[in-house]
Amino acid sequence: MTSTLVGVGCTERTMINTAVPGEISLEELQAIEAVAKLVPPNGVIVEVGSYLGRSSWHWAKNVDPTVTVYCCDPWDGYRGSSLEKFRENTADCPNVVAMQGYSPGDFQDWDKQIDLYFEDAVHKNPILKKNLDFWGGFLGPNGILCGHDFAEKFPDVMSEASDVAESTRPGTLHVVNTFWFILNKTIPTSIQTAVHECLATVSALPCYEVIKRKETEEDARDNKRRARVAQIPSFAYEIEVDESLDMLQVRAGSVLKVRGVLKNLSQGDWPVVLEGERCLRLGAELHLESSGEKISSARADLACDSLPAGESTPFEMEVPLGPRGKPGSYEVRIAPLYEHIVWFDKKHQTTFRLKINVVPELAVVETDRDISVNDPLVWKQYHPEYNPDSGLGITSPRLQALEVQNPSGMQSVPSRLSLYEISLHYALAARYSGEGEIVDLGPRHGVSSNAIAKGLLQASPSVSIEGRVWAYDSFLVTQDPQFLLKEDVYEVGSIFERFAHLNRDYMNLIHVVPGDLASLKWNASPIELLTIGASRSWELNRHIVRQFFPHLIPGRSIVIQRDYVHASRYWNALVMEHMAEYFEPLYAVFGSSAAFKLVKSIPREVLYDDVEKLPLAQCETYFESALSKATPTVQEILKCAQVADYLRFGEPKKAAGVLDTIDVERREASGDPSADFSPMISGHLKHVQTLMNQWSKANP
């Protein structure tokens, strides 16, 4: 039922809707409606953790109708949440925009300034801090940061909110029950009346308090520094850098070295040292030119204690491209600042801007056949992003979509494989020695076989390559239907024609073996390269291991498990750990692949062990071992796989324990996109959360 209340100290009537379910109390809703009045017309609110829409409704109804309220939540079924229920509860709020996903990872393309950010998602670090840092970075000068559950039960919320109020966005922290909001210390004249009305409303509510702390010695020094900076009459400056830096090409993963001169164009001196610390510095920010997204920042100290009027001082700084500095056009923005006090370019000055072009880390490389197979460069050198002239002839306009250039023409093909994985197939085929056959299990439309065939054409001329590729697949349309083309002829029931058409220029290199892999046999020839994309069940996995692994060549053979980094194919990690003594792990490659090199023959009894029947404790040991070898983002997906395995054993508590540790925001420190599985984590997490929900319903 909706009731209308008059806010204390307010001149407008405001809305409270107690019919929308949720955990926000009446007093907290009244505080929300008061704070909502501070959002300007045409403003933007972002709410993370919208759940069933209780707070969303109140933000939407108590702001100017031109304000847009963006509501973020995974709506993954947790505690009964769903997007359908949210939309039902906010159906009368036309200014609400639902954005489904995990914050902040799924919203990295956000580019709007925010007037109010409401945090009510994960109340623990590191996710809490990542949300506050990410969304807080989009708050405007008068933006309001607020949230829910400021209570001893959630110490990270109390700590982070207090830290923000003290340092990141200095202001006063107000709390009503557990709803908290921060108002800037300095309130512009234009909104002072509205702020006073808001505070009059919330201060009359029960459980209202202002969180204060005792001033420290450092606070006193900060206040003296601010007072001294306030006395500076002008912040006019000039920056000169080497002209050769503009439009410079910089390799991804490196740093941009900037040398230049800062000149004081004002009529007064600028103190560099304040209260014993060097506070006047040069600051730089790296922004993606297309969206304005900030990628990284840097600081440089000045080599003087004071910069007199009319004088100059040299500076030198290194601006890191960081893990997010991928190839593209960027802008470096440079300005002097008094740290934690003021940027000079905010004082009606012009920001110095420098344009650079970031090129791939391995751009313009020459292929080298002598690179060790253990080195990822062995396949990166063939990736079109690093080497456009590699001969691969396959590009990826978007994820899971490929354009394949063959002598007979170009074809568009859907594929589960990333371009990194395809480059790996091509590279290993290009190193083919002829000691054994190449077996491609589960090529579907045939992209992997196509890459292998093209790679074989780059092999040593002394090696016989005709008929050395064996492609096994059922080619049924019932498998992986999401990767079928709209024009596939479903009544035929097979995509074999697609495979043959894509590879018609290379059929002299490929033996195609259609049929049910579980009943097909290998011809006992040695196998030099084995690529596995057909391990869709325990049964198929056992058959593959027993049919093909005995014929691998110790010290030579490479196995590509195309579904190793995959939650729903958890048996692959267990099986490879069961044979860890016989394989050397090489690298995981973005998509879901991992490559292994056989170092010694596998005994028959090991090949015929039924890993599916191993006890839980042994499987836990295997996952622990797999996690210890994996890179950070691969670890998160392997955790998802372990959740699925725990559910196989009927251990939902252990599954939930692992589930709680999965970090969808984890990134690779190297910044190498070919090894960074972070874009895939949330999808695997959603999969195992669905499994958890299904298990709970089946086992009440």
Average pLDDT over residues 231-244: 86
Q: Residue 235 and residue 345: Cα distance in Å, rounded?
A: 8
Q: Residue 81 and residue 561: Cα distance in Å, rounded?
A: 36
Per DSSP, 105 falls in state G
Same-domain status, 601 and 687: no
- Which of 9-23, 30-44, 81-95, 101-115 shows the lowest per-residue confidence on average (mean pLDDT)? 9-23
Q: Are the CB atoms for 18 and 3 separated by under 8 Å?
A: yes
Q: Residue 571 and residue 579: Cα distance in Å, rounded?
A: 12
Same-domain status, 324 and 443: no
Most confident range (mean pLDDT) of 200-214, 251-265, 590-604 is 590-604
From 556, 589, 613, give the residue that closes a domain: 613
Domain containing residue 260: 236-359
β-strands 171-176, 179-184: how paired?
A: antiparallel
The candidate with the shortest Cα–Cα distance to 284, out of 181, 340, 199, 353, is 353
From 318, 334, 359, give the residue that closes a domain: 359
pLDDT score of 528 more than 80:
yes
Q: Which residues pair with 513 in a beta bridge?
A: 472
pLDDT of residue 215: 64
Same-domain status, 204 and 308: no
Q: Which amino acid is at 700?
A: P
Same-domain status, 499 and 628: no
Q: Residue 347 and residue 266: Cα distance in Å, rounded?
A: 12
Q: Give me the number of domains the chain comprises.
A: 4
- Whether residue 679 is contained in a domain is answered as yes
From 359, 383, 407, give the residue that closes a domain: 359
Same-domain status, 469 and 563: yes
Q: Residue 532 and residue 142: Cα distance in Å, rounded?
A: 55
pLDDT of residue 323: 54
pLDDT score of 677 more than 80:
yes
Place of tokens 């002239």: 389
- Whether residue 387 is contained in a domain is answered as no
CATH of the domain at 291: 2.60.40.2550
pLDDT of residue 489: 47
Q: Which amino acid is at 296?
A: S
pLDDT band at 191 (very low <50, low <70, confident <90, very high): confident
pLDDT score of 13 more than 50:
no
Q: Residue 470 and residue 467: Cα distance in Å, rounded?
A: 8
pLDDT of residue 78: 83
β-strands 328-338, 312-320: how paired?
A: unpaired
Same-domain status, 250 and 303: yes
- Whether residue 608 is contained in a domain is answered as yes
Task: Indicate the SS3 state at residue 99.
Answer: strand
Task: Indicate the SS3 state at residue 238.
Answer: strand
The candidate with the shortest Cα–Cα distance to 142, out of 109, 106, 123, 117, is 117
- Whether residue 389 is contained in a domain is answered as no
Same-domain status, 606 and 622: no
- Whether residue 180 is contained in a domain is answered as yes
- Whether residue 366 is contained in a domain is answered as no
pLDDT score of 206 more than 90:
no
Task: Indicate the SS3 state at residue 674.
Answer: coil
- Whether residue 451 is contained in a domain is answered as yes
pLDDT of residue 347: 81
pLDDT score of 193 more than 90:
no
Across 500-634, the runs of DSSP E, i.e. the strands, are: 510-514, 527-532, 558-561, 583-589, 593-598
- Per-residue model confidence as pLDDT tens digits over 644-664: 999 999 999 999 999 999 998
Q: How far is CA 536 from the centre of its chain?
A: 27
The candidate with the shortest Cα–Cα distance to 440, out of 432, 430, 451, 427, is 451
Whats the size of the chain, residue-wise? Answer: 700
The candidate with the shortest Cα–Cα distance to 555, out of 578, 589, 525, 528, is 528
Distances (CA, A) of 385 to 101, 146, 162, 394: 29, 43, 45, 11
CATH of the domain at 490: 3.40.50.150
Same-domain status, 642 and 666: yes
Same-domain status, 181 and 41: yes
Task: Take residue 596 and report the two structure tokens written for it.
Answer: 């292994």
Phi, psi of 577 (to 5 degrees): -70, -35
Same-domain status, 446 and 492: yes
Does residue 126 have a cis peptide bond before it, meaning omega lies within 30 degrees of 0?
yes
Same-domain status, 685 and 596: no
Q: Residue 296 and residue 359: Cα distance in Å, rounded?
A: 17
- Whether residue 23 is contained in a domain is answered as yes
β-strands 68-73, 96-100: how paired?
A: parallel
The chain-wide mean pLDDT, for the chain, equals: 88
Q: Are the CB atoms for 212 and 220 separated by under 8 Å?
A: no
pLDDT band at 213 (very low <50, low <70, confident <90, very high): low
- Per-residue model confidence as pLDDT tens digits over 455-494: 999 999 999 999 999 999 998 866 555 555 555 544 456 7
Average pLDDT over residues 254-267: 88
Q: Are the CB atoms for 122 and 129 separated by under 8 Å?
A: no
pLDDT score of 362 more than 60:
no
Task: Indicate the SS3 state at residue 420.
Answer: helix
Rg (Cα) of the chain, in Å, rounded?
Answer: 30
Same-domain status, 550 and 646: no
The candidate with the shortest Cα–Cα distance to 559, out of 570, 568, 550, 569, is 550
Phi, psi of 69 (to 5 degrees): -110, 110
pLDDT of residue 668: 82
pLDDT of residue 8: 30
Average pLDDT over residues 233-249: 78
Phi, psi of 684 (to 5 degrees): -70, -35
Q: Are the CB atoms for 455 and 425 separated by under 8 Å?
A: yes
What is the CB-side half-sphere exposure of residue 397 using CA atoms within 13 A?
A: 8
Q: Are the CB atoms for 295 and 325 separated by under 8 Å?
A: yes
β-strands 13-17, 394-398: how paired?
A: unpaired
- Per-residue model confidence as pLDDT tens digits over 379-419: 888 888 777 777 888 988 776 778 999 999 999 888 889 99
